[in-house]
Amino acid sequence: MSRTRGERGFVSQLLLFVVISALTGALAAGLVVPFAGLLGLSTQSTTDAFENMDANLQDPPLPERSRLLAADGSLIATFYDQNRVEVPLKQVAKVMQNALLAIEDARFYQHGPLDAQGTLRAFVRNSQSGGVSQGGSSLTQQYVKQVLFETAATEAEQQKVVEDSYGRKLQELRYAVELEKTMTKDEILEKYFNIVYFGDGAYGVESAAKHYFSTSASKLTLTQAATLASIVRDPNNVNPAVDPQATLSRRNLVLSRMADVGMISQPTYEEARKAGLGLRMNKTPRGCYYSPYPFFCDYAEQVLLDDPALGKTRDERRRVIDQGGLTIRTTLDPQAQRAADKAVSENVHPTDGAIGALSMVEPGTGYIKAMAQSRGYGRGKGKTFINLNAQHKYNGSIGYQPGSTFKPFVLAAAIRQGIPLTAEFPSPGSTVITGPVRTCENGKPGYNRLPWKVSNSTSAGSTSTLISGTTHSVNTFFGNLEKQTGICEPANIATRLGATRSDGDPLQQVKPFTLGVNEIAPVSMAEAYASFAARGLHCKAIPITEVTDRTGNQVKVQGPQCKQEIPKEVADGVNYTLRQVIDGPDPGRTGADMHLDGRQAAGKTGTSEDRIGVWFMGYTTNLATAAVITDADPPQKSLLGTRIAGRTVGGDQVWGGKLAGPMWTAAMKGALEGRKSANFVEPNPDLVQGIPTNVPSVISMGRSKAERTLKAAGFTMAMGSYVDSGLPRGTVARQSPGPNSTAGSGTTVTIYLSDGTPPAPPPQPPLPPDLPRVPDLPKPPGGPDGPRGPNLPRGPGGPNGPGIPGLLGASGFLGGTG
């Protein structure tokens, strides 16, 4: 015969009560023998079955929130599934302990794992009502239930935990009995305070105190403690913020119970029940959305989610961040971040057709000090979730072409190959780079043979040195310099210093490489330039310095990774050259407006093709910053005519030094205010001038022989134009520096080949018509021309004697030394 639901509930409660009575000795007193007989149970069989149940309660660490901190310890963001901060019992106010015990288990310190009196009372009342109208669980049993709920792997398992079935209750009791054998009452109470849910997303008493009253658990008052205790029984329905009146009634019930059991006096109760709730709600924002520095926060989070130290899979790492109680210390410098934010917001507005981004990296450590961008974090106009500074794998964009800010990698390769800073290369207004240029894509040596037409956007002479070609950012000069260095070494230097493509692919080794045609993230460019500032010591850009778990043990996440990638002397040469861009004497330098008030700084302007974007890369010895302003939305178009920060920019403004430069300058000044920057190390003079070396003469040599001769002497060769000359066509007619002069080793000697046609003689002026005619001289005797006179001795130079000084120069061709 089947039983009704009420009957089944009664039988379950009766059976549970028989077990409880057996354990407490009540059966021996004959209190429940009739009930046991009714169910066909014996005391021994009941207790034996109970003792054989699983008693090993799995008590893993509770989900606890993680904190992301700035370098100064200030809070950037909080990550959690459950907003919980564990505290020891001594940090829970005594009044809070009493309030909870009064309403949940007033005899907690007097009874064992169960309260027989409370259970019997609940049993009788529930039997009379035909259901469960009153609980009889001890605080230890409640704690067991909380643990089982937290460790349930699925929602279905959690639902089973909350069911009041006989088997479930009995198992909870078995765990409780074992717990009280191995733990003190204080230890159980402490664990209960840290696991219990207080509603509205607050787990544990410390988070609840912060959430509802903006205080700590140790400073809770009587009424605050009673309010929190009133929530525990039904946290999903008792919400002080939503229904304060219902909460007030529950709170006063707690106060009444405290008075009943003697925890507070009657007058204290009467006074306390008149008080309002006094809520001071304090929401704990979750994740980067509410962070004051959301994009830096997002970058740090993405780096952690990519770090195998936190787990094998991304999902495992997500759980560790949200539940592991981590303390994550980052590299962010609030002063630098505020300066970066201010500089970007003043130069590019969120809803502009352009976007602005700025990354700051510390040389010698790789610490990312700031990330700022013009668009806010989120959805809607003027907002985005894309980190404009970051690489694509870290929620970033596909990158931006950095323009001429890539030229220093070719400059570094030239210095590395022994070309002095005073070496000259042709820099015509436009030219075509023909012939093969060395490459090493995918590690395989090769050549790029496609012709490349390149033109200048700045003024230059017919030739430029490494210094003047850089300060004026001369495209044709760097095209010719790259032809000499090859593309392979500049690409390797850029990669080793961190200037890698945002999409993760290798750098494309094409002839326009030196003009920055690869798409790079701003933080990667800041990383690379920080390596120049650190004298060639490359440190990978990182946002995190240390991670510790809830017990204070370090988690071995990726820390600083530094390696000397280019010689110090090479970096010194690059730094010296780039200093001339900002602080040099040349009035035509592209970075003339980017002074840092007496502080030594180095930098480089960049403008991408069609002026789609502009850059300024610059650094001191202690801070490197990438600043970029580019068209916002694909397909990207020229910035010309775009409205940016309230003005429409024209052709004279869309340059790296005019548009991105002021943003860089403002950010650097703010970030470095009150901080000192050491001076750069001056380069070796031989690196600037080269070792003084005699320049051999290659006049009248063919091109190949001339190149071999100059290379053997320590020089490089560049081709000039063809010139009129009587020497055979294709042989060297002129060279600069000239034959037998002195120049620094590594200097480029420019040769000019003969076109095979001597220059026409200069026209002679006509004689004046009134000039008197010179009479003919008498012919000397001795044949047609007469004998040679005694005063005209035969010269050593052949029949006509030596050449006339000033007519044929030492070079052997008409027109001087060349």
Query: Per CATH, is 691-753 categorized as 3.30.10.20?
Result: yes
pTM of structure: 0.78
In the structure, how many helices (H) and strands (E) does the chain have?
Answer: 25, 29
Evaluate whether 589 touches 603 at the Cβ level (below 8 Å).
Answer: no
- Count of other CB atoms within 10 angstroms of residue 275: 17
Give the C-alpha distances (Å, rounded to integers) separating 155 from 158, 160, 236. 5, 9, 16
pLDDT at 632: 87
User: So what's the pLDDT on residue 727?
Assistant: 94
Average pLDDT per consecutive 10 residues, the chain (818 residues; last block may be shorter): 45 52 43 41 54 68 93 97 94 98 94 72 53 62 90 82 73 87 95 95 95 97 97 91 94 97 96 96 91 97 96 95 96 98 97 97 98 96 96 96 98 95 92 95 94 90 92 96 97 98 97 97 98 98 96 91 97 97 91 91 95 97 98 89 95 93 98 97 87 91 94 85 91 92 82 89 67 48 38 34 28 25
For residue 588, what pLDDT is reported? 87
Phi, psi at 780, each rounded to 5°:
-75, 155
Q: Give me the pLDDT at residue 117, please.
A: 67
d(C-alpha 576, C-alpha 584), whole Å: 10
Provide the 10 A C-beta neighbour count for residue 563.
11
CA distance 135 to 422: 91
Q: Where are the beta strands (DSSP E) in 692-739?
A: 692-694, 716-719, 732-736
The DSSP bridge pattern shows strands 748-753 and 716-719 to be parallel
Q: Rounded CA gap, 504 and 398, in Å?
A: 9
Return the pLDDT at 691: 78
User: HSE on the CB side for 411, CA within 13 Å?
Assistant: 33
Residue 14, C-beta contacts closer than 8 angstroms, at least 6 positions apart: 35, 38, 39, 123, 127
Q: What is the pLDDT of residue 808?
A: 24
SS3 labels along 540-565: CCECEEEEECCCCCEECCCCCCEEEC
Q: What's the pLDDT score for residue 493?
A: 98
The CA-atom distances, in angstroms, between 810 and each of 372, 463, 793, 816, 817 are 64, 25, 25, 7, 7
What is the architecture, at CATH level 2, of domain 85-272?
Orthogonal Bundle (1.10)
Across 688-802, the runs of DSSP E, i.e. the strands, are 692-694, 716-719, 732-736, 742-744, 748-753
